[in-house]
Structures are given as C-alpha cells and as structure tokens.
Amino acid sequence: DCDGTNLLIDMRDDGDGSLTHRSSQLRLIEERVHALRGRISVDATEGWGTEMTIAVPLDPPQVRGSAPSGWSLGAREGEVLALLADGSRNRDIAEALSISENTVKFHVANVYRKLGVSNRSEATALYLSNA
C-alpha cells in the first residue's frame, strides 16, 4: 500500500512464531529499512506466526553535510561515504570522483574499518544518524 509519503508493507506468515531480532534474515531487513530511514515492527506469537509491518519513505534520504570529524576519515573517504550513503554503486562513485573502481573499493574498505561497520547498510545508517 502507499499513504502518499511511504511505501507500506504488511506481511503475515503461519510459521512457528520463532522469528526474533537476533535472526540474521531479520537483521538484514532491519538494516536496509533503517538505512532508508524507514520503520519496521515485528510481532511474533509462538505457535501462531509472525506479523511484520514496514514503512519506507518514497523519497530517498537526503544526504547532508560531511562525516563528523571524530571519525578520522580522510577528505576522499568522506566523499566516498557521502556518495555511498546516497545509494551510489562503486562504479557511480568512481565516475563522480574521477577515480578507478579499485580505488573506490580501497576507500570503502577504509571507511568500514574506521567506522567499525561491515557493510553499506550499516555505514549508511551510521552516516545518516549523524548527519
């Protein structure tokens, strides 16, 4: 469904109701929803199934400013992070910054290490929560 501002998703299964926030599948979904500044709620009832409600803004998140200075990112790493948080792929980042895709991969790996994250969703969520 759509309320004009958000894409609304409601799902229900007839499973065993054992889905928890520790589930790796649910964690992946939560990371992506939060990176888009969306909302997710999960209500699992043991023996009856699970109901999941997701609301994702239709407009992409607005990337603002640069990375906080306490993150010790270099200027180029900050640019890469901003483009990454904007949803750009490595190829697009390389074109925008006039660098090779291998250089982008190098910068992305440094950003992950410096922020203590392991993927684009986590980096984006951290960046947007501090923007």
| The CATH classification of domain 69-130, taken from the options 3.40.50.300, 1.10.600.10, 3.10.20.310, 1.10.10.10 | 1.10.10.10
pLDDT score at 45: 87
Contacts of residue 68, Cβ cutoff 8 Å, sequence gap at least 6: 130
Domain residue spans of the chain: 6-57, 69-130
Mean residue pLDDT across the chain: 85
pLDDT band for 111, please (50, 70, 90 cuts): very high
